[in-house]
Amino acid sequence: MFGRIGRFSVHRPWLVVAMWVIAAVGLAILAPPLKSSTDQADFLPSRYESVKVTKLQEHAFPQQESAAAILVYQRSDGGKLSEADKAAVTKATAGFQDKKYETFKSVVTTPEAVSKDGKMALANIYSTKKDVYDEDTQQSIKDLREDRDKLLKGTSLKVDVTGPAASGLDATESSGDTDAMIMMATLVLIIVLLGAIFRSPLIALMPVLMILVMFIMAQGLIATASDWFGLEADSSVSAILIVVLFGVGTDYMLFLLFRYREHLRKGQQPKEALVDAVTRVGETIASAAGAVIVAFLALVLSTMGSLRAMGPSLAISVAVTLVAALTLVPAVFSLLGTKAFWPSKAWKKAPRNRLANGAGSLVSRRPGLIAAVSAGVLAVLAVGALGFKAQFDTDSTLPKDLESVHAMAELQKSFSAGESDPSLVYVQSNGGKLDAAALTGFRQKLTAVEGVGEVSPAVLNPKGDVAQFSVVLKYRPASDKAIELVSGKLRDTAHGSAPEGSKALVGGSTAVLADIEDAVNHDYRLVFPVAGLAIMLILGLLLRSVVAPLYLMLAVGLGFAATLGSTVWLFQNVRGEDGLLFMLPIIVYLFVVAIGTDYNILMVARLREEVRKGKTPAEAARLAVSQSAPTIGSAAIILAGTFGVLMLASNTMLQQMGFAVAFGILLTAFIMALLLVPTVTAMLGSKAWWPNHRHDSPDTSGASGPGRAEEPDAAGETVRV
């Protein structure tokens, strides 16, 4: 099959290139815009209590609104507000109201909105749009920020804007800058590294141009799929999509180009060499891409809507990369011929590769020692994973210098920790009106919960069958203590103390975070095993072995733990972060396990091929390492570099993700694929290929006999069958 694909692409290059360009342009024009959401509450399923509270609130208190944004007034010198300052706050707030911004229903303040220390006053902004992340609402925030200097002119005040709409605007603008920076840094990195490896400007530039076409295609297909199936993409998916396409796409191109160059060095004509390259590495690329796609698709089992949307998006991007690697890339290099390597002449003669040969010799001479040392390094790094602490406050990952983030931090200094965002407790009657005396007793029980600062009197809906209590916690709403309190004692007390004939529900942003924590723990128990089993099945089918996939997955699992442990040590212990992004283990698991398996596929398949040629296990390990090291090393450096670019982002979430995946890929390539896997395989000998017993009897014949055909194995080498 891969031979037919290769011949079609190589011998009809203009047709293949034209088909790709037309498809990319068509999708760019016709595909709907890609929607995104930054509100984690949107991503929880309806069975969670915080989601039920939101629906109950909309039904029982339809007139009640939450502020879309908050104005934070302070003196420029940080002192207490004078009576003149308070009057200026009232006047400025009225001025904002009179501006009649497009989506602002009202801008209001009250005398009670002054902090107890007298240093701060607040005003709430209520929007006409239910979605506070709506573009029109964010434009209104921009307009207000432009007008504030005029309205505060002549006063000693300054005003900052925070709250959901302002945070959404700042996150979007910050992300936009980050995407552009990541795109530029990734392009420069790939061009420089490819130029250094092949010493050719054409090979440095052509993959980048082809990946840009893939990027347009992937975005169009993702947007179309999202529109058809009602998916929403997380706001961070664009940056991840860039590095996935450029990193994985460059990986697959390197697999093909290294094989193409090898055949040219053997004296084959360019088109023949290119067809053979596609034929021989097609299975490798397809298997590697299949493992990544399966791992990403496992995210559809996630409870979190953000991960469910991310999974198909990234799977589509890898599928596009796979098809391009087997069609577009051969077509382009068919047109270029050997001119692609200009001005370098290195493609005509194989280099000595002293480093790779030295590594191969070391592995073959001391397999036990190398296996012990490499496994020991991974085990030591893995210890750090025991200290992993999940961080569920996504706003804390935003740059600290953003106005909304800074203003919220200032607000929480002057107001009590939970006052800026109280939890909400609802009591709903199973039939009839609620008893006022029973509600008073219920309130007293809530107030008695340790960690609760204040509970407001019950507010009844018009029918009198639903009561609302505002619960101010003593802890910051997104803190671990607040989440633990809401998910534990507060909910237990509310549920157990509900008046007879009623039920109690606890909601609010802290409750949302508590439910997210529960959802993520569920995903850990489900997504990890499903993805692992699916990848192991792919390896089993590819290698036709039961034993090899088992120790390969054990090795990759150790690599995952080492990656997470290293990230914990860097960000929590060295940089002093409160914790790591709650979904980081899932992202690391999928990227490191799936993408890291690519290098293991190359290594184990080459080991198998050498054994079938009659080599001893030690000699097979030497040859496999020396032959595969240049390809694996180059691909890993480029792929790790593209993910490492995320560390340039100001968003802590992207920094953590960039380091973890980049470092995990380097561990997988240089410690696992080039050291641990070949040494373990050499020590196991023929047992590694059980029950495929044909590997026990080496094929030492020099040519194909009757009934024996040649076919490429997973590493792209010819084996006898």
SS3 per-residue string spanning 619-633: HHHHHHHHHHHHHHH
Rounded to whole angstroms, the Cα distance separating 168 from 176 reads 12
Cα(140)–Cα(148) distance, integer angstroms:
12
Q: Is 71 helix (H, G, I), strand (E, B) or coil?
A: strand
Output the pLDDT for position 41: 47
Q: Read off the amino acid at residue 416.
A: S
285 and 1 Cβ atoms separated by less than 8 Å: no
**Do the bridges between strand 580-581 and strand 390-391 make them parallel or antiparallel, or are there none, so unpaired?**
parallel
Residue 710 — left, alpha, or beta (φ > 0 → left; ψ -120 to 50 → alpha)? beta
The predicted structure's pLDDT at residue 33:
66
CB 165 within 8 A of CB 631: no
Nearest-10 Cα torsion for 686, 689, 691, 697: -50
Supply φ then ψ for residue 230, to 5 degrees.
Answer: 70, 30
- Residues pairing with 671 in the sheet: none
User: Residue 618 phi/psi, 5° resolution?
Assistant: -65, -45
701 three-state secondary structure: coil
Helix/strand/coil for 390? strand
Element (H, E) at 427: strand 423-429
Model pTM? 0.75
How far is CA 393 from its chain centroid? 16
CA distance 241 to 285: 19
Q: Kindly provide the b/e burial profile for residues 287-307, where b requires at least 16 CB atoms within 10 angstroms of the residue's own CB.
A: bbbbbbbbbbbbbbebbbbbb
Contact 49, 507 (CB under 8 A): yes
Mapped onto helix, strand or coil, the DSSP state of residue 412 is helix
How far is 442 from 452, CA to CA, in rounded Å?
A: 14
Q: Please give the structure tokens belonging to residue 239.
A: 């940056």
Q: Is the peptide bond before 457 cis (omega within 30 degrees of 0)?
A: no
Burial 629-665 (b: 16+ CB within 10 A, else e): bbbbbbbbbbbbbbbbbbeebbbbbbbbbbbbbbbbb
Looking at residue 72, its pLDDT comes to: 92
3-state helix, strand, coil split of the chain in percent (to 5) is 70, 10, 25
DSSP run (H or E) holding 60: helix 49-60
User: Do residues 560 and 592 touch, judged by C-beta distance below 8 A?
Assistant: yes
Report the pLDDT value the prediction gives residue 721, as an integer from 0 to 100: 28
Q: Give which of 247, 150, 241 is closest to 194, Cα–Cα.
A: 247
3-state SS class at 125: strand
Can you tell me the distance from the alpha carbon of 534 to that of 529, in angstroms, rounded to the nearest whole number? Answer: 8
CA 71 to chain centre: 33
Q: Maximum CA pair distance of the chain?
A: 102
What is the per-residue pLDDT for 700?
A: 40
Residue 74 pLDDT: 93
For each successive 10 residues of the chain (721 residues), what is the average pLDDT? 85 91 87 58 76 88 78 91 92 91 86 84 85 80 91 91 84 68 75 83 84 84 76 59 77 84 84 87 83 84 77 87 91 87 76 79 88 93 90 69 84 74 90 89 93 89 90 84 92 93 91 88 85 83 82 87 93 86 81 76 79 83 86 83 78 84 91 91 83 52 35 37 28
Residues whose CB falls within 8 Å of the CB of residue 240, separated by 6 or more in sequence, listed in order:
310, 314, 657
DSSP, collapsed to helix, strand or coil, labels residue 528 as: helix
CA distances from 671 to 89, 378, 381, 658, 679 (A): 62, 8, 12, 19, 11
Give the span between the Cα atoms of 543 and 687, in whole angstroms: 13
